[in-house]
Copies of this chain bind each other. A is one copy, B any other.
Amino acid sequence: MKGIILIMDGLGDRPLKSLGNKTPLQAAKTPNMDKMAEQGINGLMDSIKPGIIPGSDTAHISILGYDPYEVYTGRGPFEASGVGLEIFPGDIAFRCNFSTADENQIITDRRAGRIREGTKDIIDSLNHMVIEGYDDVKIIFKESTGHRAVLVLRGNGLSDAVSDADPKKEGNAPKKVVPTDDSPEAKKTADILNKLIIKSYEMIKDHPINKKRIENNQPPANIIIPRGAGAVPEVEPLNEKYNIKSACIAETGLIMGIARFAGMDIIEVDGATGGTDTNLDNISDTIVNHLKGVDYNFFLINIDGADEAGHDGNSKEKVEFIEKVDEIVIKKLLDIEDCYIILTADHSTPISVMDHTADPVPMVINGPEVRVDFVKQFSEIEAHKGGLCRIQGSNVMDILMDLMNNSTKFGA
């Protein structure tokens, strides 16, 4: 027996006047999702708990059965994992911006003109960096998308109790990093970071990529500004925790990062963009093909487009994307046998708010032995009438494992 959790990122919404007081999910024509509702068990789900606004990261952590209040140590480690850096408990990870600094190291562009190309080359020349007095600490950079990068400090006696260097506004110098507790580890880490920022400027200000950018009147990517310090936590690998063979099909670095973190395999999909223009055919083919195989019996799937449309406040785009997922992905899943399929979201991203909210999300479970209820439409408004009532993210894996006959009794 196999299991799938298919998360439509940011799917949940609120009733919109422009849609006749329907949510985008209600307004969309979703015959296949509705069929799932009809032949399944339905409910509402709070990824973390009622009233708490989840990030996509904390929501996925919770849905995978980890406690985000324990595991989530800031965004740095998840970003680092997301860009494919192998990280270890004890490492301190940071998100970084490439920024533009003038000769006095005043930041003139926080995003280095939203640089899109060449950051890998610049990173390569930074990865030799050794900070004077701290040659026991390994410094690892890796480029991410656009002006973004990741920094990992590896060594003894480090701490994530340090402030951000991001000056937030152009025209200021990078903020001095300060320890946020009294430990010598925090003091050491802050000192390393302050030296690292200056050193980054010295090492890359004359990099060929930057010389070329200056020639082209583009702001050079000549300084690294770290923030979001997080100590890499230790988690029990998902495969051990639930005795499964798990894989993740996701579109964004953040979700892949969480999957790597949990020790899951990552299955890449050509043409997956994380936007509403993503290649849903390839995504659905990838799911169906791997379901036929024997390598995995659990899949976490994240399709990101609805969240993007929500953040953009574009209801038409959200409705149309939901309809496309229904037609291309969900339709194919309906034919699959010997599998429990959970369709849900990680959080709501209402069009009216253009950001995440705590409104619970609909959930439906299909599979051979679910207690089919009376709900006939997959939506935020109908779901609560179903047999799942209102559950939490931390319940989801346990429920799925039980249905898959893959968990053990507590007691006799």
Contact = CB atoms under 8 A, between A and B. Distances in A.
A352 B353 CA distance: 46
Interface stretch (A153-161, A270-278, A325-333, A393-401): A393-401
A292 interface: no
A29 interface: no
Contact of A352 (B369, B380, B412): B369
Interface string A350-388: 101101111100000000011111000000110011111
Contacts of A400: 51
Interface stretch (A142-150, A191-199, A200-208, A403-411): A403-411
Given A356-B409, A389-B384, A51 B401 contact: yes
A79 to B, nearest CB: 9
A35 interface: no
A49 interface: yes
Contacts of A390: 388-391
A9 interface: no
Given A21-B372, A50-B398, A384-B373, A55 B15 contact: no
A336 to B, nearest CB: 19
Contacts of A359: 371, 402
Given A48-B410, A58-B410, A369 B385 contact: no
A68 B392 CA distance: 20
A337 to B, nearest CB: 14
Contacts of A380: 371, 387
A94 B51 CA distance: 36
11 contacts: A21-B372, A51-B395, A51-B398, A53-B410, A54-B411, A55-B411, A68-B410, A356-B409, A359-B402, A373-B384, A384-B387
Q: Top 10 A-B pairs ranked by shortest CB distance? A: A55-B411, A51-B398, A58-B411, A389-B390, A358-B402, A50-B395, A51-B399, A55-B412, A53-B409, A57-B411
